[in-house]
Amino acid sequence: MRTAFLASLCGLLFVGTLIVSAQSTVSPVEGTWKTTHTNDDGNTASTVYQFHASDGRLTGQVEVAWGNLSIEQGTISDGRFAFQIHMGESIWKYDGQVKDGNLSITVHDPNMPAATLSATRLTEEQSRFVAIPPPPLHVVPSNGLAKTPLMGWNSWNYFQGRITDAIVRQIADAMVSSGMRDAGYTYINIDDTWEGPRDSSGQLHPNKKFADMKALADYVHARGLKLGLYSSPGTETCAGYPGSYGHEEQDAATFAAWGIDYLKYDWCSAFRLYPDGDMRAIYQRMGDALRKTGRPVVFSISSGGKEHVWTWGRLAGANLWRTTDDINPGWKRIENIGFSQSELAQWSGPGGWNDPDMLEVGNGHLTPDEQRTHMSLWALLAAPLITGNDLRSMSAETAAILTNREVIAIDQDALGVTGRRILQMGLIEVWTKQLANHQLAVGVFNRADHAQVAEFDWNALGLNHPAQARDLWQHKDIPLTGDRFRREIPAHGTVLLRFRP
C-alpha cells in the first residue's frame, strides 16, 4: 500500500547499479536475483528481480514488499538491455550491460543519487515462501474502544521515511500548542520505518532513529496524548523493515510494554505468504494478540480495501479498516476516494469505522475550498480524522480548518451514523448525515472546476420548510426562506449545514 513512498523506497531498493555474476550460458540476466541494501538508519532491505530474456525482449518483474512491479518495454541486444517500471504514478527507467563477467543495471532518476548493489542468484527453493497456516476463524471480542471515529496525526503523508524520535516529540508539542489536542486530536501515530532488528530471542527493537520507544511514549502521554505504531503481518513492512510475521504475540507484548495505544497493521509482504482470501484469519491473529496483552490498543487494518474488509474487520478485532488504497494531496485522488464511500455506510459505526485514509489538509497544493471540502466530506462520512501534515509549521488557515469544532462535532456525533449521498445533479452532490437529538447535517458539494449554483427542494431531504440552519464554515446561523435551497458554490467547494428541530 505504499505507492507514495517512491523516492525513499527506491533509495533503499532500486536506485543505482546492480552487479550480478553472469552464470547463465543463455543470458546473464536470466533467472531470479536478490539484492540487499543497508540504509542510513541501519535497516537492511531486499529486492528480488526476476529476469527473462528471449528474442531480444527482456521481461519479468521487480518484487518489493508492497507488490510485484512488471518490467515494461524491456529489450536486450548484444549484451545491452533496457526496461522501465511503473512506480505508482512515476516511471523509472533502467538500462545496463554485461561487462567483465558481471551484469550492471542503472536506474535513471534525477531526484536520487546512484548506488551500486550486488545480487546473488536464488534457487527455486530459496524463492519459495512457506507460510504458517492461518488460524481457524472466530470473532475477536471487542476492546471497547473507538466509540467515535479516531482523531490524531500520522507521520506518513508528510515525513514518510524521514520520521525520527525528535520530530515525534516536536509534533506532540505542536499538537498541544496549536489547539489540536483540545479540539479532540489525541493519537500521535508513527508509521513505517521505525523498526529495527530482532535480537537472538526474536525481540523487536526500534532502529537508531528511535533510541527508546518507552521514553517516547512517556513523553507523548505526559502531554495528554497517545502513541501509535505500525507493523505488518508479513515478513517485511511496505518499506522493507521487519514485519510481525511469526512474532505476533511477542510484538504485541512488546508494544504494550512500551505503552503503545494504537497499531496500524499493513498487508504489505503478506501477499507472499497468503492469498488475499486469508486476510481475516491473518488479521485476527494480531487482534487476538493485542487482546491478550490486556492493554487497550486501537487496532487499525490497512489492506487497501481488499476482500471487502468492511464486512469482517470488526470480527477480526479491528476498530477501523482502510476502504481504499493510499491517498495523496491531489484534488482528484481526494475526490475519487471521498465520493466513493456512500455505499459502505452500513458497515461503519461505534467501535468500528470505515477509513478512507488520512487527511491531506495542509499538504500539497490544495485550495482552501478543496481543503474545506475534504474536511467536510470526511466529517459526514464519520471517518477517522487522522491528519498527516507538519503541525510544527502549518498556516493559521490550515489550523482553522482542522480545529473547526463545529465540523468536528459532525464527525464525532454520538449517534455514529455515516452520511450518504441523497441527491446528485450533474457535478453537484448533496449528502446528509443523521445526528443525535434529531438533528441533521447536510453537505452540498460542487465537484466542478468552476463555480455553480446548487438548487433543490427542501422536501427532497425530508425537511419541511426549515426556518433556520447553522453554516459550519461561516460560523453563523442563516435564515432559510421559501421551499428551496439556492446558493452559488465555488469550484470544488462546499456548504456544510446543521439543522436543529
Residues of the chain with CATH 2.60.40.1180: 420-499
Name residue, grid cell 464486512. Answer: 311
Q: What is the pLDDT of residues 107-153, one digit of tens each?
A: 777 666 776 777 777 888 777 778 999 999 999 999 999 999 999 99
Q: Label residue 38 by pLDDT band (50, 70, 90).
A: confident
Q: Which of 192, 261, 266, 288 is catalytic?
A: 266
Residue with cell 467501535: 351
**E strand or H helix at 187, and its extent?**
strand 187-189
Question: What's the mean per-residue pLDDT of the chain?
Answer: 91
| CA dist 205 → 32, 34, 122, 189, 281 (Å) | 31, 25, 29, 17, 26
Given a cut of 60, whether residue 448 has pLDDT beyond it is yes
Query: Which residues of the chain form CATH 3.20.20.70?
Result: 151-411
Return the pLDDT at 314.
98
In the predicted structure, residue 4 carries a pLDDT above the cut 70: no
Q: CATH 2.40.128 spans which residues of the chain?
A: 6-124
Strands (E), 43-115: 44-54, 57-64, 67-70, 72-77, 80-87, 90-99, 102-108
Residue 15 pLDDT > 60, yes or no?
A: no
pLDDT in tens, 325-339: 999 999 999 999 999
Amino acid letter, residue 37: H
**Greater model confidence, 7 or 463:** 463
Give the residue from 327, 332, 284, 290 showing the smallest Cα distance to 309. Answer: 284
Q: Which CATH class is domain 420-499?
A: mainly beta
Please tell me the predicted confidence (pLDDT) of residue 46: 83
Does the domain at 151-411 match CATH 3.20.20.70? Answer given as yes
pLDDT digit string, tens, across residues 228-249: 999 999 999 999 999 999 999 9
DSSP single-letter state for residue 152:
E
How remote is the C-alpha of 472 from its chain's centroid? 28
pLDDT band at 88 (very low <50, low <70, confident <90, very high): confident
pLDDT above 90 (res 470)? yes
CB atoms within 10 A of CB 162: 11
Q: Which of 264, 231, 262, 302 is nearest to 1 (CA)?
A: 302
Q: How far apart are CA 69 and CA 407, in angstroms?
A: 41
**Range with the largest mean pLDDT of 5-19, 31-45, 374-388:** 374-388
Cell of 388: 498527516
Answer yes or no: CATH 2.40.128 is held by domain 6-124. Answer: yes
Q: Supply the pLDDT for residue 316.
A: 98
Q: Which residue among 326, 355, 357, 413 is the active-site one?
A: 326
Q: Using CB atoms within 10 Å of the CB of residue 244, give its burial: 0 to 12 exposed, 13 to 18 middle, 19+ buried.
A: buried
Q: How many CB atoms lie within 10 A of CB 168?
A: 24
Q: Is 19 exposed, middle or buried (0-12, 13-18, 19+ CB in 10 A)?
A: middle
In this structure, the strands spanning 17-21 and 494-499 are unpaired
Q: What is the pLDDT of residue 100?
A: 67
Q: What percent of the chain has pLDDT over 90?
A: 73
Look up 326 and say whether it is catalytic. Answer: yes
pTM for this predicted structure: 0.92
Q: Is the pLDDT of residue 198 over 50?
A: yes
d(CA 122, CA 129): 13
